[in-house]
Structure 1
Amino acid sequence: MGAKMKLAVAATMAAGAMALSGCGSNSLVQNGYVAARYDGTTVTNDQVQDALIDVRKVNAEFDSQSAAVFLALNPQLSKLAGKYGVATSAAQAKAAFPATVKNPSTSAISVVQSSMDFQALRSSQQGQPALANLINTADVQLNPRYGTWQKGVGPTSVAPNWISASPAPAAS
């Protein structure tokens, strides 16, 4: 094996090892596999994309940041909505899709369920303080491709253009 081939193999192996090992719990969010994380819930990019396919058939304006956040907060929103008697079941969320959306994905159903629970909590006098507390204390880790989350505020920016342009080659 030539020196160039050995160098290429070594570089490839080193890059692969760094990608697999990661540095801390946020590494998957940074490397692009994970869309969001919160309180033990991990949302993948595939889940966000699956949700968008079905939800956008009903609401073309629905964005990937909202999908990622609603999926990450789904367990907490369901728990709070249940506590205050305003919970939406998965069956109710599925029924909210028109007949033209046949068999919505599990992710799409979860997004709709979270959205309905969020709205119900906002409309509930008893649920409003609990929802505000969740937003004030939640520290959702968002992949930069989906924007940012600010504790106490929620999603604060639209996802930037996360595909950076290659630098122009230097003039010789």
Structure 2
Amino acid sequence: MAPTMIQVSSRYGVSVSADEAQDFLIGEAASSGQQVAEGGYDAGTVTVGRYLLLDSAVRSSTEGPAIGADLQEEFAGLNVELSPRYGEWTPDAGPTPVQPEWILNPVESA
């Protein structure tokens, strides 16, 4: 989802650089008392950081509805393989958690 979000939002002039994402991730780690990654974060983590910042920027953008519509169209055309441990993929909802049938619901006490 992140590469698609980066591509679509940039068409509307909404973007987040890798450096901005790196700073965001460092700030998040520091504010939660976690150790900041020495030498910075890898490309995959930075891409997730860009996605998180873009999601917020798109929601507050006047172009948000148009970007959202384009994202839905792009997501519908993706061929996504999602590990079952993360749920199921639907273009409308993205990854949706599901409870495997081998996990039983708790029994309510009488």
Fold shared, TM-score > 0.5 on shorter chain: yes
**Separation in 1 of the partners of 2:81 and 2:69?**
18
Instruction: Give unpaired runs (5+ residues) of structure 2.
Output: 104-110
Q: Using the TM superposition, give the Cα deviation of residue 147 of structure 1 relative to its aligned residue in structure 2, in angstroms.
A: 0.9
Verify the 8 A CA contact 1:90 1:113 in the aligned structure 2.
yes
TM (norm. structure 2) is 0.65
**Separation in 1 of the partners of 2:69 and 2:56?**
12
Corresponding residue SS for 1:142 = coil
Q: Using the TM superposition, give the Cα deviation of residue 131 of structure 1 relative to its aligned residue in structure 2, in angstroms.
A: 1.9
Verify the 8 A CA contact 1:93 1:109 in the aligned structure 2.
yes
RMSD of equivalent CA atoms: 2.5
Out of 90, 95, 120, the position equivalent to 2:57 is 120
Verify the 8 A CA contact 2:8 2:71 in the aligned structure 1.
no
Verify the 8 A CA contact 1:88 1:116 in the aligned structure 2.
yes
Matched AA of 1:132 = A
Residues 137, 82 of structure 1: alpha-carbon distance in 2 compared, 3 angstrom cutoff: closer
Structure with more of its chain in strand, by fraction: 1
2:17 corresponds in structure 1 to 89
Corresponding residue SS for 2:14 = coil
1:101 corresponds in structure 2 to 36
Q: Using the TM superposition, give the Cα deviation of residue 159 of structure 1 relative to its aligned residue in structure 2, in angstroms.
A: 5.4
Larger Rg: 1
Q: Using the TM superposition, give the Cα deviation of residue 137 of structure 1 relative to its aligned residue in structure 2, in angstroms.
A: 4.9
**Separation in 1 of the partners of 2:56 and 2:50?**
10
Out of 92, 95, 98, the position equivalent to 1:155 is 95
